[in-house]
Structure formats: C-alpha cells, structure tokens
Structure 1
C-alpha cells in the first residue's frame, strides 16, 4: 500500500481521509467521542499508528471504525444525520472529487499534455477552492443551470453538481480530455452513491461549443456560465461574444479575461455591440487557485444587463 513515488496514489492516506470525512459529517453528536476523542478516538489512534509505523495498531483502529459505522448504519443514525445536512462543505466536496480524479485522471494525466501552445486547445484546471468561491460570488443555487465552456476533464461540472446540486453542463473538444471526463463522470456517480449523496444531473458534450446544438440551447437558460479563456485566441473570444445575445437577463458569465475592454463606453457608433449588454466586475483570486501557476490573479464576472443600453438609447433618442 506504499506508493512508488511521491506523485502516486496513497491508499493509506485515502483510508484516513475517508474516516475523517465520515467522522466530520456522518456521525451524530452523541456518538462523536468514539471517533474524535483526543486520546482514545479512532482518528487519534490512526494517526498514532502511522506515526510509529504500526500495521497492527492501524488495522485495529480500522476494524473498530468499521464496527462503529456498521452499528450506526443499522440503527439509522448515519442516514438521519445525512438527511439533516443542508449543504456539502468544501472539504467533503474535495474528498469525493479527489477520490474520483485519483482513480480516473491521475493514471492517465500524461495524455492531457498533448496540446498546442498558441491555440485554443491548451489545458489548465481551476482548482476547487477557487471554483467554490465563484459559486458564492455568483450566488449559484440548486434550482439553477451551470455551464462550463471548455470543461476539460469535467472537474468543475462535477463540482457544481456536487457542491450546489444544480443542473450542470460542460463542453470540451479535446478528445483526450473528453475521454477522461467520461471516465470521471461514471466514477463520480458511483462515488456519490457510496457516500449516500444525490448530486445534480451532469451533462458532458463533446465538440465545439460554438456549434453544438445542445450547448447553444442550454446557454439560453443558463444562470452561470464559466469560460476559462486564459489561453483562448482573440478570434474565439470575439466569436463567443455573439452568443451572449441569446443569454437571459441576469445570466452571469465568469471568465479569466474580460470580454469588455477596460474603459469601454456605450456610444452611438457601437450601439450594436453585444458587450454593451454586459455589466462587469473585476475580482481577485489568490495563490493555489489554478493549476498553471501558484500566483494569484484577476477574474471577471459579467452580468447580462440590458438596462444600461436602454438608458443610453432613451437619453440619446
């Protein structure tokens, strides 16, 4: 159960993290001492066994955990605690997503490095904590629709379905990423069943998001659209802007590069530009938010708001 190098999956760590997640989220308060006591709790015993490299102590703690969980399962306590849970917290979300990723994407991650610099097909990931903050900033809710354009291996699509419980869509054209996204989706559904969680429905579409009918149609009812356009060519960014015309009022478009140039003003000569319909806020993200750098940066939330254009036209004409 010991990995060959530091980058490989560590089963023992996974066991400990699963037990800690269960202790934090599934165990009723009156039963928590058996798991969380600082001296005799199962979590403390696991850590102690690892510290002294005792296989026997580790196995004993795991056996006691299994017996305790089975007892609570049979009594209905686990199901009751889960039913009373209103929202899945980020560490819990990350545990399920990491389990899914480790078993599907990680063993095949080399296939994602086959991209072309200077094209639209450059792979990079937005990390869960950053994405969770985007969900908060856009006030994404369970009854809404989320769309990720350029969804890669599907990480954000799965996170939205799990953390928010919303209908979640993604579209990707790189074949290798699509293959891994489909593996992730299948593993994700199985993992959620094991954890007793019902996520929102996920839809993964292969192909060019400018041409796929299913994506064009869902954009018309989307509430939040994510576009990781950090490496998109100017041509693709310009083509995307025309699709904003069909989005509903109040739809929020999150991007790493703004679709509205700094200092843009509505004028008579640019009345027909789709960017006049967008009200933009610049936000900051911090270190460890994206896969390609540890440095923080900026991102943008554009809200479709026709009132500014209407006000200009009312004043001008």
Structure 2
C-alpha cells in the first residue's frame, strides 16, 4: 500500500496498515519466558480500538494519547493513523518488548508518516513522574489495559 499522506486513514485502510506494520511480530516475540512474572503482552484487537475511539469522539492535534502497558504499540499506531491526535506515547514495562514496535513503525514511517507521532518509553509506570515531566505532563487521554489478578478463580 502506498499512502505517504499525513491525513488520517479510514478504518479499513488502518486495519490494512496495521497488518502490514505488525505482521513481522510473532507470538514468540512477545511471550515471556517460562517462570516470568506474568508480564505477557495482551494486545487489543483493531475493532476494539476503533470502537473505543468512536466512543471518545474526535481527537485533535492538541490531544496527547498515553497508553500504559503499550505492548507492541498497536493501539498507539492505530490512534496515530486514524485520528488527528498530536502525539501518542506508550509506556511498556518490558524493556525487551519496547524496542520491537519502534523498529517496525520506523520501518513503515515513510509509507505511513503519521506513525512518526508515536513514541515508546520502557519503564514501570509506577516509577514514572507522569504528571510532572514533558511529554507525559501534556497527556489529555490515558488508556490502560493492565490488570493484575492475584487469584481470579476466587472471584467465581
């Protein structure tokens, strides 16, 4: 697909772009080694992100989107490609996972220049001074999908 435009993509075009950008990332790349602390990357499907964005309404260039637990950055990429958001920032606790999406998005930034709005930071959000340091102090929208369930079976 040859896009090279800075106008937001349609949802179908975004789905195709996401498939192109992230097709090189395999399940084995994001699974944590056996015996780890359960920091597996669980990604949102593009249809779920599209529904979330629809419910939020239009995002403008003054908006800064923060994704806590960004995983492979697919949510960040979709927000960048389908909205007029000014910047998309992802915080991912797994250092080994953080560089992978950055490489894939940089590789496709010529075709999809809106991916240049995406930045990823490796670190634990509990240790970050998000509200006092630029660029996260400018955040207007926060997305988080990280839940730690000590014993979900006890809820049944």
TM-score class, shorter: 0.7 to 0.9
CA–CA separation in structure 2 for the residues paired with 1:129 and 1:123: 18
Aligned to 1:228: 145
Q: CA deviation at 1:189?
A: 1.2
- The residue that corresponds to 1:174 in the other structure is 94
Paired position in structure 2 for 1:272: none
Counterpart of 1:33 in structure 2 is none
Choose which of 134, 137, 145 in structure 1 pairs with 2:64: 145
Structure 2: how far apart are the matches of 1:213 and 1:156?
A: 22
SS of the aligned residue for 1:203 comes to strand
Match for residue 204 of structure 1 among 120, 124, 136: 120
Q: Give the structure, 1 or 2, with the largest relative contact order (CA under 8 Å, sep 6 or more).
A: 2
Number of the residue aligned with 1:73: none
Find the aligned partners of 1:215 and 1:180 in 2 and give their Cα distance. 26
* Cα separation, partners in 2 of 1:133 and 1:119, compared to 1, 3 Å: same
Distance in 1, matches of 2:65 and 2:50, equals 13
> Structure 2 vs 1, CA of residues 210 and 201 (structure 1 numbering), >3 Å: closer, same or farther?
same
2:77 equivalent in structure 1 = 158
Do structure 1's residue 101 and structure 2's residue 101 form an aligned pair?
A: no
Name the TM-score, length of structure 1 as normaliser.
Answer: 0.41
- SS for the counterpart of 2:104 is helix
In structure 2, C-alpha distance between the alignment counterparts of 1:190 and 1:114, rounded to whole Å:
31
Paired residues, number: 147
**Relative to 1, partners in 2 of residues 1:121 and 1:146: Cα closer, same or farther, differing over 3 Å?**
same
Q: Secondary structure at 2:119's aligned position in 1?
A: strand
Counterparts of 1:159 and 1:214, CA distance in 2: 22
Q: 1:216 to 1:135 in 2, by over 3 A?
A: farther
Instruction: Give the alignment of 1:72-111 within 5 angstroms.
Output: 87-103=8-24, 105-106=25-26, 109-111=27-29
In 1, Cα distance between the equivalents of 2:31 and 2:89? Answer: 24
Q: Deviations over 1:206-226 (max 9, x none)?
A: 111122346763454322211
Tell me the TM-score normalised to structure 2 length.
Answer: 0.77
Gaps of 5+ in 1: 1-17, 27-78, 235-317
Name segments (4+ residues, structure 1) moved above 6 Å.
Answer: none
